[in-house]
Amino acid sequence: MAAGIESPTRWSTIRKDVRSLAVLPNLVDYDEACRTFTWDSARRELTGLPGGGVNIAFEAAHRHAVGERAEREALRFVRADGTTHSLTYRGLSEEANRFASVLRSLGIGRGDRVFSLAGRIPSLYVAMMGTLTNASVFCPLFSAFGPDPIRQRLQLGTGRVLVTTRALYRKKVAPIRSALPELRHVFLVDAEGAPEPDTLDLTALLRDAEPYGPVAETQREDMALLHFTSGTTGTPKGAIHVHDAVAAHLATGRFALDLHPDDIYWCTADPGWVTGTSYGVIAPLVHGVTSIVDEEELDAERWYRILAEQRVSVWYTAPTALRMLMKAGAPLAHEHDLSALRFVASVGEPLNPEVVVWGTEAFGLPVHDNWWQTETGGIMIANYAATEIRPGSMGRPLPGVQAALVRRDDEDRPVMLDGEAELVTEPGTVGELALRPGWPSMFRGYLNEEERYRRCFVGGWYLTGDLATRDADGYYWFVGRGDDVIKSSGHLIGPFEVESCLLEHEAVAEAGVIGIPDPVAGALVKAFVELRPGREPSDALRLDIIGFARKRLGPAIAPRELDFVESLPKTRSGKILRRLLKARELGLPEGDTSTVEGSR
Residues that bind ligand ATP (CB under 6 A): 229-234, 236, 347-351, 369-371, 373-374, 394, 464, 466, 478, 481, 573, 575
* Residue 46: DSSP 8-state: S
Q: C-beta of 197: minimal distance to ligand ATP in Å?
A: 35
CA 46: distance to chain centroid?
24
372 vs 548, beta carbon nearer ligand ATP: 372
In angstroms, rounded to a whole number, what is the distance separating the alpha carbons of residues 593 and 476?
31
From ligand ATP, Mg ion, none, which one binds at residue 394 (CB under 5 to 8 Å depending on kind)?
ligand ATP
- CB nearer to ligand ATP: pick between 218 and 464: 464
Alpha carbons 56 and 54: distance in angstroms, whole number = 7
Among Mg ion, ligand ATP, none, what does residue 466 contact (CB within 5–8 Å per kind)?
ligand ATP
Q: Beta partners for 430?
A: none
Burial of 46 (0-12, 13-18, 19+ CB in 10 A): buried
CB 327 within 8 Å of CB 299:
no
* Contact partner at residue 464 from Mg ion, ligand ATP, none, CB < 5 to 8 Å by partner kind: ligand ATP
* Distance in Å, CB of 373 to Mg ion, minimum: 5
Per partner kind, with CB cut-offs from 5 to 8 A, the member of ligand ATP, Mg ion, none near residue 350 is: ligand ATP
Rounded to whole angstroms, the Cα distance separating 108 from 120 reads 24
Q: What is the largest CA-CA distance in the chain?
A: 72
Amino acid at 68: E
Nearest residue (CB) to ligand ATP, 254 versus 575: 575
Q: How far apart are CA 139 and CA 115, in angstroms?
A: 5
DSSP string, 386-427: TS---TT--BEEPTT--EEEE-B-TTSPBPEETTEEPBP-ST
Minimal distance in Å, beta carbon 527 to Mg ion? 23
Give the shortest CB-251-to-Mg ion separation in angstroms: 23
Closest CA to 241 of 228, 223, 216, 217: 223
Residue 229 Cβ vs Mg ion, minimum distance, rounded to whole Å? 5
CB atoms within 10 A of CB 332: 14
| Smallest separation (angstroms) from ligand ATP to the CB of 453 | 13
Q: Residue 542 corresponds to which amino acid?
A: R
Cα distances (Å, whole numbers) of residue 579 to 177, 467, 562, 571, 587: 32, 16, 17, 11, 12
Strand partners, 293: 77
Nearer to ligand ATP, 88 or 360 (CB): 360
Stretch of 146-154, 226-234, 414-422, 489-497 lying at the interface with Mg ion (CB under 5 A) = 226-234
- Interaction partner, residue 164 (Mg ion, ligand ATP, none; CB < 5-8 Å by kind): none
| Nearer to Mg ion (CB atom), residue 133 or residue 229 | 229
Provide the minimum distance between the beta carbon of 142 and ligand ATP in the complex, in angstroms, as a whole number.
Answer: 11
- The residue (of 266 and 478) whose beta carbon lies closer to ligand ATP is 478
Which residue in 320, 326, 324, 216 sits closest to 273, CA to CA?
320
Q: What is the C-alpha separation between 323 and 512, in angstroms, rounded?
A: 13
Question: 291 vs 370, which CB is nearer to ligand ATP?
Answer: 370
The smaller minimum CB distance to Mg ion, of residues 229 and 571, is found at 229
Q: Closest Cα partner for 211 from 94, 101, 100, 132?
A: 94
Confirm if 598 and 580 have CB atoms less than 8 A apart: no
Q: From the DSSP assignment, how many helices (H) and strands (E) are in the chain?
A: 20, 28
**Which does residue 317 touch among Mg ion, ligand ATP, none (CB within 5 to 8 A, set by kind)?**
none
Number of residue whose CB is nearest Mg ion: 229
Q: CB nearer to ligand ATP: give 119 or 350.
A: 350
Shortest gap between Cβ of 273 and ligand ATP (angstroms)? Answer: 6
Residues 280-339 that bind Mg ion (CB under 5 A): none
- Give the count of residues interacting with Mg ion (CB under 5 A): 1
Question: Please, what is the minimum distance in Å from the beta carbon of residue 233 to ligand ATP?
Answer: 3
Interface residue list for Mg ion (CB under 5 A): 229
